[in-house]
Structure 1
Amino acid sequence: MSSTITPSKPNVTLQPEVVQVSPEPNFFGELVQETLALTRRLFIQLQRRPSTLIAGVIQPLIWLILFGALFQNAPQGLFGNTVNYGQFLAAGVIVFTAFSGALNAGLPVMFDREFGFLNRLLVAPLATRYSIVFASAIFIVTLSAIQTAAIIATSAFLGAGWPDPLGLAVISLILLLLVFGVTGLSLGLAFALPGHIELIAVIFVTNLPLLFASTALAPLSFMPKWLQVVATLNPLSYAIEPIRYIYLHSNWALNSIVMQAPWGAVTLGGALLVLLVLDVVAFLTIQPLLRRTFA
């Protein structure tokens, strides 16, 4: 009698299927990473061509020294009983240095447009293309901070003195508001104008008229009536006068009157509000252009 041997089934343990779940994309982390990478690229360019930074420091220093020497024999009392022209001029040179650097913010973007690198960025899988704008703003703010620090130190050496720490903080805030607004307008021009020749022409046409139509080189009382109106419409005056007041008065406050405009007194807090409105208007103005370009 033959027996049938049934083969035993091996013990097989079924493992549950492991499903790989990709982590959710971290938008903020990717934005920071992209912005830092693009900012680092701009600083590498600056390291290879440092003439931009050097010229941005030397030019206002020359202005400060030469204009201070030119008007050192100005009539007594023109700038105040205890104020020399070097002290009066320091605020104007500080603001104009920050303004000039911010006005040039669109040039790197314009050159990227012309060389085709911007097109590569626009088709790259970026978390947001606004990182291009953020990187340019960080680069220009850092550059302006280096340049204005050199001007503040030089003007202190030439006799303009030092504000107190809180005053320096308010001066930094004023310059930051000015640089943000002008940088936004410059980037908008970089996307709107056809080439760098047109952008440089706008920069040249804008620079000197805004300088001379402000209170950087002369007080309002020294100007004819029509120029007083123009100077009090100039945003640079709302950065120059608060900084000048902080330099010359140790007991400043937000309600301190820093400028007597033809239509009324302007306080330090009012000047800050004007600069803040300038920033809001600048970024609201360039928003449609940026959306159309990044689409």
Structure 2
Amino acid sequence: MTATEVTERDVVRVVLPRGGAAHDLRAVRVVLHREFLRFVSDRTRMVSSLLQPVLWLFVMGTGLGSLVRDSIPGIDFRTFMFPGMIAMTVITTGMFSAASIVWDREFGFLREMLVAPVGRGAIVLGKCLGGALMATSQGVLILALAGLVGVPYAPGLLLTLLGEMFLAAFTITAFGTLLAARMKSMQSFFGVMQMAIMPMVFLSGAMFPLANLPSWLHVLTTVNPLTYAVDPMRHAVFGYLNVPPQVDAVLNPGIVWFGWRLPIGLELGVVAAFAVVLLGVAIAQFKRSE
């Protein structure tokens, strides 16, 4: 058959998948599923993410509790630290999930994802949702230890903490994704990650009360996004405890702006606002980076 004999019906047509919201949602599901498979296959990562918060809670918490036992009667200091250790688990797992972006870039898989006929936003959203779900599942394991530190297994409390964990996990994963958007090597990312994690954890009130702080330290805690995730969880825990009012005022003072204590709903709104902004910036970075 000559070239002139080739008719239109003999030409193989290339059909591109249709775009739209349904197509992007499928891409989100695929990326999320891949993140889940990677997470469950990496047992070393799962164990290491849990080990540090458990050590802080039961070793450091016990040691510090022996020093402040007389000043906080009626409550175990580890009970105070418990919400902070949940936050530590969430932030560690969320940031490690974002590190997979750098790994995919090094091995070329990220470029294959970015040239797929889907929106960059769908890929980033899938990454963030996957990281948030994995971080929340890790937080559930810490939540299972609640009874060992005097936190009741009340269904309302557990559901509240679960929702707050997911919101915090999504925000942290979006932040990690933003950092990973321009990183070219795992060494660089882990260096920046450690530089970001430790100040955020220490300045969130996870390990010390926010009451009676020096003014400079109070300012640093109020500009830390993680503070607005830890305080609602601690407020939920203390709502189910019988704590003397003077002790509650010291250990659970809330976040104060110019003498005004923020409502819990506003604190959660601040975390959600951070999540939306960080997700938007991360998507913009991905559109520019490749």
Q: TM-score, normalised by structure 2?
A: 0.81
In structure 2, what is the Cα distance between the partners aligned to 1:152 and 1:101?
15
By how many angstroms is 1:219 displaced?
0.7
In structure 1, what is the Cα distance between the partners aligned to 2:109 and 2:209?
46
Deviates more, 1:58-67 or 1:106-115: 58-67
Written as runs of structure 1 = structure 2, the 5 A alignment for 1:230-245 is 230-245=220-235
2:98 matched residue in structure 1: 106
By how many angstroms is 1:282 displaced?
1.2
By how many angstroms is 1:146 displaced?
1.6
Written as runs of structure 1 = structure 2, the 5 A alignment for 1:159-198 is 159-165=150-156, 167-198=157-188
Paired residue secondary structure (1:215): coil
By how many angstroms is 1:292 displaced?
2.2
- Structure 2 residue corresponding to 1:83, chosen from 75, 81, 96: 75
Q: Which amino acid aligns with 2:150?
A: G
In structure 2, what is the Cα distance between the partners aligned to 1:276 and 1:37?
24
| Contact kept? 2:128, 2:177, Cα under 8 Å | no
- The reply to whether residue 246 of structure 1 matches residue 236 of structure 2 is yes
- The reply to whether residue 280 of structure 1 matches residue 276 of structure 2 is yes
- The reply to whether residue 61 of structure 1 matches residue 57 of structure 2 is no
Paired residue secondary structure (2:131): helix
Q: Which runs of 5+ in 2 are unaligned?
A: 1-14, 242-251
In structure 2, what is the Cα distance between the partners aligned to 1:26 and 1:193?
29
By how many angstroms is 1:262 displaced?
5.3
Q: TM-score, normalised by structure 1?
A: 0.80
| Contact kept? 2:171, 2:278, Cα under 8 Å | yes
- Structure 2 residue corresponding to 1:258, chosen from 234, 254, 265: 254
By how many angstroms is 1:24 displaced?
8.8
By how many angstroms is 1:133 displaced?
1.6
Paired residue secondary structure (1:192): coil
In structure 2, what is the Cα distance between the partners aligned to 1:135 and 1:264?
38
In structure 1, what is the Cα distance between the partners aligned to 2:276 and 2:130?
20
In structure 1, what is the Cα distance between the partners aligned to 2:234 and 2:110?
40
By how many angstroms is 1:257 displaced?
7.2
In structure 2, what is the Cα distance between the partners aligned to 1:195 and 1:97?
24
By how many angstroms is 1:108 displaced?
0.6
- Structure 1 residue corresponding to 2:85, chosen from 88, 93, 103: 93
Q: Which amino acid aligns with 1:140?
A: G
Deviates more, 1:258-267 or 1:105-114: 258-267
In structure 2, what is the Cα distance between the partners aligned to 1:72 and 1:65?
10
Paired residue secondary structure (1:235): coil
| Contact kept? 2:95, 2:172, Cα under 8 Å | yes
By how many angstroms is 1:191 displaced?
1.5
In structure 2, what is the Cα distance between the partners aligned to 1:77 and 1:278?
38
Q: Which amino acid aligns with 1:147?
A: Q
Give the percent of matched residue pairs that are identical in Structure 1 and Structure 2: 22
1:215 matched residue in structure 2: 205
Q: Which has the higher helix share?
A: 2
2:267 matched residue in structure 1: 271
- The reply to whether residue 30 of structure 1 matches residue 18 of structure 2 is no
| Contact kept? 1:39, 1:135, Cα under 8 Å | yes
By how many angstroms is 1:175 displaced?
2.2
1:144 matched residue in structure 2: 135
In structure 2, what is the Cα distance between the partners aligned to 1:157 and 1:41?
34
- The reply to whether residue 289 of structure 1 matches residue 285 of structure 2 is yes
| Alignment coverage as a number of residue pairs | 266
| Contact kept? 2:39, 2:134, Cα under 8 Å | no
Deviates more, 1:139-148 or 1:26-35: 26-35
By how many angstroms is 1:92 displaced?
0.6
Measured against aligned partners, the alpha-carbon deviations of 1:144-200 in whole angstroms (never above 9, x if no partner) come to 1221111111122332223442x3333233222222222222112212233222211
Root mean square deviation, CA, Å:
2.7
| Contact kept? 1:229, 1:261, Cα under 8 Å | no
Q: Which amino acid aligns with 1:219?
A: P
| Contact kept? 2:56, 2:85, Cα under 8 Å | yes
Kindly name which structure, 1 or 2, has the bigger radius of gyration based on alpha carbons: 1
In structure 1, what is the Cα distance between the partners aligned to 2:129 and 2:135?
10
Q: Which amino acid aligns with 1:95?
A: A
Paired residue secondary structure (2:184): coil
Paired residue secondary structure (1:127): coil
Measured against aligned partners, the alpha-carbon deviations of 1:3-48 in whole angstroms (never above 9, x if no partner) come to xxxxxxxxxxxxxxxxxxx999474443343333333333333343
| Contact kept? 1:86, 1:160, Cα under 8 Å | no
By how many angstroms is 1:107 displaced?
0.9
